[in-house]
Amino acid sequence: MSPTLSAADLMPLEQYAREREAIRARMIGYRATRRLQVGANCTWSFEDRETVRYQIQEMLRTERIFEPAGIAEELAAYNPLIPDGSNLKATLLMEYPDPAERARRLAQLRGIEHRCWLQVAGHAPVFAIADEDLERSNAQKTSAVHFLRFEFTPGMIASLQAGAALAAGIDLPDYAQRVDPVPASLRAALLADLA
């Protein structure tokens, strides 16, 4: 099965509206299993085919998109978030409830998206390739949301499949964090993304 989604993988708007509450409840639980807290203010939500399908369905519903051209545009926008077997993809969210603190910290954390890493035990860290669709930082501040891609070598994938631990972190002086190891349940989900 191709990792990318097509219009045939999506529900018509009417069917989705009928089933939305059950789908939403299931996806809240599912997404929680794919989330990694990296320090007190940063969350990585690892994307896969199911999380992206849900995002597309929600966008189609919100925007009332039902014509083939509009659906194709949404598929083109969101399909790049699906891992393709050699990488992991995540949405990074910086969370500061207080607006003044958020503005101050986002100014301090410029470049954070390029200092995020994953590391398979016994291998060098893999730093994220960030925001391939558009630039989300400028000279004054970074964005609160970034899209990350972590590209793995065949050797790294083989080590993970053989049981090697996975660590994650951010190597930025103003927000240096390490999660070692990544929780077993998330590691198992991410390993499936690399199959």
Assign 140 a pLDDT band (cuts: 50, 70, 90).
Answer: confident
% of the chain residues with pLDDT over 70: 95
C-alpha–C-alpha distance, residues 86 and 84, integer Å: 6
C-alpha–C-alpha distance, residues 115 and 172, integer Å: 6
Residue 193 has what pLDDT?
94
Where is pLDDT greater, at 141 or 48?
48
Ordered by start, the domain boundaries in the chain are 12-33+48-81, 87-193
**pTM, whole model, 2 decimals?**
0.91
